[in-house]
Structure 1
């Protein structure tokens, strides 16, 4: 069963796999979209947006791009009063703030781990019970 749903041409055939783990859900474009749709209903969409931004950030190759992206992530998600402020402890927020002028590819690792934990522990179990996920499952069984 080493199939990842991004490769599959029919996104619906892998809906059941999402319930195996939060990683299976997040490794899949359509899974990310469904989870994001659910998080919107809980007003915590910033969690997956931040997590995805961190995933992209870690793939950056050039220093100038890294600096501008780090600053964008910081101002959108991390700084106090950010438009999509994520729920992290003040120590983690402070350490990012102190190092944002010289970002590295690991600048957001701790915050990303915290948000991942939050999604895995809190949001993901609720997602599996949600009407949104159940509707995806029903649709996939009809095909």
Structure 2
């Protein structure tokens, strides 16, 4: 340690380490977001630039479950979440859906990856879970089954439904989609 740092109190050094950790975490998260955004943009370019119909948009406005049950709805909602820097919620939800179809021999490895990526405190794409759910999920990982993320996935679904979905309905993205759908019917 350099001579100047040795004279600082331990609490200052700990604070400096905490700040360094947070900055590196933010930089890592920003890089991760940029990679995901590029993938989303490439996926959107490959999807024939199809816009949802007025009927699809009306269904999306009726219920969050219509958005989640529609591939295009999930794609558009994910774009919105990305603009709010909360895409990790959808990524986690999709990872949990995929996990339910994982073969038993790969279950433990995949569970640990999902936990490390989204659930663990200070994970790169940490989702917003309460302490009880986080602890319960950690316990479920010790005895892995296809349902070990069920409660956490449900919490994130409800968070997206109660919070992000309402903003999505009033977002510029949604207004643009409605305008495009209306224009394609008129034009």
* Shorter-chain TM-score range: 0.7 to 0.9
1 CA distance for matches of 2:154 and 2:101? 17
The structure richer in helix per residue is 2
Partner of residue 109, structure 1: 150
Larger relative contact order (CA 8 Å, sep ≥ 6): 1
Shift of 1:11: 5.2
| Residues 37-89 of structure 1: per-residue CA shift (max 9 Å, x gap) | 111121111111111111111122x2122222211111110011110101001
2 CA distance for matches of 1:11 and 1:131? 15
Question: Is 2:49 the counterpart of 1:12?
Answer: no
Superposed CA RMSD in Å reads 1.4
Give 3-state SS (helix, strand or coil) of 1:100's partner.
helix
Q: Gaps spanning 5+ residues in structure 1: where? A: 1-9
Partner of residue 75, structure 1: 116
Is 1:67–1:103's contact at 8 Å kept on the other side of the alignment? yes
Aligned residue runs from structure 1 range 27-106, under 5 A:
27-60=69-102, 62-106=103-147
2 CA distance for matches of 1:142 and 1:65? 48
Equivalent residues, number = 133
Partner of residue 25, structure 2: none
Higher gyration radius (CA):
2
Q: Which runs of 4+ in 1 moved over 6 A?
A: none
Q: Gaps spanning 5+ residues in structure 2: where? A: 1-49
TM-score scaled by length of structure 1: 0.86
